[in-house]
Amino acid sequence: QAASAGHTLANHTYHHLKGWKTPAQEYLTDIRQCQDELEKIIPEKKNKLFRPPYGKLTPQQFRALKSEYQIVMWDVLTYDFDKSLSEFDCLRQSIKNTRPGSIVVFHDSQKASRNMQYVLPRILAHFTALGYRFGAL
């Protein structure tokens, strides 16, 4: 449904592995498993995208991935998964840290749902009112 709606699907590992704590070959195999699933939904792209869980890769993992994937990081982490963070504070911090060209991370997990469902529509409305545009990578 997301792909048919025009959203970009990208690799984030199959099992949400921590790069710094996972041997390189195991990590790369997990990425391949995720890519195999993605390619069932969308045809393989020349410039495949990869966002490492937790933003952490070892130098060996980075070298192995950089020729096949565009590695995408972010500059705003909403902390929507932090249950001790109120919806309002999550929104306030996310708006404060967002700049033109920012990549903002939200999570679609049960743990993040309260904050994400509150913050996402409001941050989109806020920046739309300021004339920002949102696009797929």
Task: Supply the pTM of this predicted model.
Answer: 0.87
d(CA 83, CA 15) in angstroms, rounded, equals 22
Helix (H) or strand (E) holding 122: helix 113-129
When pLDDT is averaged across residues 29-48 and rounded to a whole number, the result is: 87
Q: Which two tokens stand for residue 54?
A: 């937790």
pLDDT for residue 135: 85
Is 137's pLDDT higher than 90? no
Reported confidence tier of residue 43, pLDDT bands at 50, 70, 90: confident
Place of tokens 């920046």: 127
Measured CA to CA, the distance from residue 11 to residue 39 in angstroms comes to: 10
| 54 vs 46, more confident | 54
